Amino acid sequence: MCGIVGYNGKNKAVNILLDGLEKLEYRGYDSAGIAIRDKEIEIFKAKGKLVNLKDKIADKELNGTCGIGHTRWATHGEPSENNAHPHSSNDGSITLVHNGIIENYHELIDKLKKHKYKFYSDTDTEVLTNLIDYYYKKYKMGPIDAINRTMVRTRGSYAIAVLFKDHPDEIWVARKDSPMIIGTNKDGTYLSSDVPAILKYTKKVYYIDNLEAACLKKDKVIFYNLNGDEIEKELKEIKWDISAAEKEGYEHFMIKEINEQPEVIKKTINNYIYKNKIDIYKSGITEEELKSFKQIYIVACGSAYHVGVCAQYVLEDLTRIPVRVEIASEFRYRRPILDKKGLVIIISQSGETADSLAALREAKSQGIKTLAIINVVGSSIAREADYVLYTLAGPEIAVATTKAFSTQLIVFYILAIEIARIKKKITERNYIELIEELENIPYKAKYILDNLTRGIQKIASKFSHTKDAFYIGRNLDYAISLEGSLKLKEVSYIHSEAYAAGELKHGTISLIEDNTLVIGIVTQEEVYEKTISNLVEVKSRGAYIIGIAAENIDVSKISDFALTIPKTNKYFYPSLSVIPLQLIAYYITIDRGLDVDKPRNLAKSVTVE
């Protein structure tokens, strides 16, 4: 969602802030702004793309070495320059940027109006600015006391960065349920909502926890708890390579990240498998615990939820443990009844997804063990889960996930194989065979990228103006069709739906007419004949069929365009069939002339409900 950056140090702040905001564009935004402190605090804001803000300050001489910046994704109040951040208190003594939602802002506005505060925007953020100002002046407190009182008084989620007029050369920050990291090097201190914004400057970071605050000085960072006491934080090192957050010659991040999949899949496999043996025990989980679980709950949002649907098929078939897949935004609100001998698995690329974090906390409140599958070390979910299995996707910049999705799938395969071994549901020979075939996935993924991309480019131009698309499959093919459909709709804005192929005759087939695009995924030998029958049915009603099939299954006779993927174990086909689905979505979007990396109205990390 919104992005926050900040810098306090020896160098001019303006370019560092703008560079950081550019690196956070993938989070989604509709306006941007910065506040630079020189002798006074100067604020500049603009609606729309970051270039509008850059144009606005192009002729300004901004020499300040302390400042904060923000990209806003509208929640309260329309996208406008007036609603853009930073916001200031009535007399300009407090300047603030905010990521999150303040749920009791109406109540706080009423309180502050009684004390003669005026409000000039439609945002909930302006409430925070004036509330800090109110406590700061009324009780003649220092910044930490005013911020802590504000944290106690507000309900909702927030990460804030604050400039106090009376405290030059300091940036004050605090957070609750919204992400924030703080970096440091010899040139100063940095803050950001996400790693890519500061990766260019430093890999040395602090992770600030919930209900904590900090003061960024030019040469150090001081942390505080909710009582205002100083606390110690451990400095961590980010392992990501800065090149992973750059396009490196690719036109878009999405196609770069699609092409990075063979490499990151291999890295993730190598992180957990060595000499035909799986080791997931650095996470702290034990074989005894894995053996003891009687139920598995997988909780996630969006594409991560689709990983969970795939994982349900694989886990249940391999381990014979019952698995439920839950949409995170619904999980806690239906008051779930959880088996005390169960395991709740949370999937999130960022580790900051608000609904997934809430689901994790709900599971923990019921005393259920939790395991997180996460891409970002030090994220909130990673810190709060009982156990963590990291994917090694590296920074993912495009809003539409590709390589993070694929590495999440790989971790689930590894987990399923290991549980099956522990529970003696597979033989030692089966165990070795599954591992060996898993280790071949990166090479088969590379084969697909090398050999199918050109054909997909050609077919994408034919359907760039289609209005409706349908994805069908059975078993794991249905599970991955959910992701293919989402990819198309989120980046191309084409209406798309995924259906279990057997459900066609229960209503969906009435939507098929001449030249309707139907993408059929056919890899599962046990049910492929039934899926082919369904494709014949839609073809007889005028559909144009793209068939994606394993090399031992012939769909060329019924498909207008057939794509063949290498043979693999039945459990692993989603890792191969998803690649042409990603490429179809990418090239259709490019042909439509849309911004594939930053689809409208979408954010990379959904950090508010």
Give the catalytic positions in this structure: 2, 604
Q: What are phi and psi of 447, to 5 degrees?
A: -60, -45
Q: Angle at CA 124, nearest 5°, toward 491 and 132?
A: 130
Element (H, E) at 365: helix 354-365
- Closest by CA to 257, choosing from 404, 113, 83, 386, is 404
Structure tokens at 375: 């891409």
Helix axes 403-422, 261-272, angle to 10 degrees: 30
Strands 369-374 and 387-390: parallel
DSSP annotation of 432: H
- Is the torsion defined by CA of 250, 254, 259, 263 positive or negative? positive
Quickly list H helices, 97-142.
105-113, 125-138
Helix ranges (H only) for 463-493 are: 476-492
Residues 255, 458, 443, CA angle at the centre, nearest 5°? 50
What is the distance between the alpha carbons of residues 591 and 577, in angstroms, rounded to a whole number?
22
Of 501, 527, 522, 528, which is closest to residue 512 (Cα–Cα)? 501
Q: Which residues in 466-491 are b (16+ Cβ under 10 Å) and which e?
A: beebbbbbbbbbbbbbbbbbbbbbbb
Rounded to a whole number of angstroms, the CA Rg of the chain reads 25
Q: How many CB atoms lie within 10 A of CB 349?
A: 26
Find, among 379, 8, 354, the residue nearest to 194 by Cα: 379
My answer on whether omega of the bond before 442 falls inside 30° of 0, hence cis, is no
Query: Where are the strands (E) in 200-294, listed by range?
Result: 204-207, 212-216, 221-224, 230-231, 236-237
CB distance 296 to 441 below 8 Å: no
Q: Please tell me whether residue 540 adopts helix, strand or coil conformation.
A: coil
3-class secondary structure, 64: coil
And the tokens for 386?
Answer: 């009982």
CB 338 within 8 A of CB 354: no
- Cα separation, 460 vs 609, whole angstroms: 35
Q: Which residue has the tokens 């804030």?
A: 160
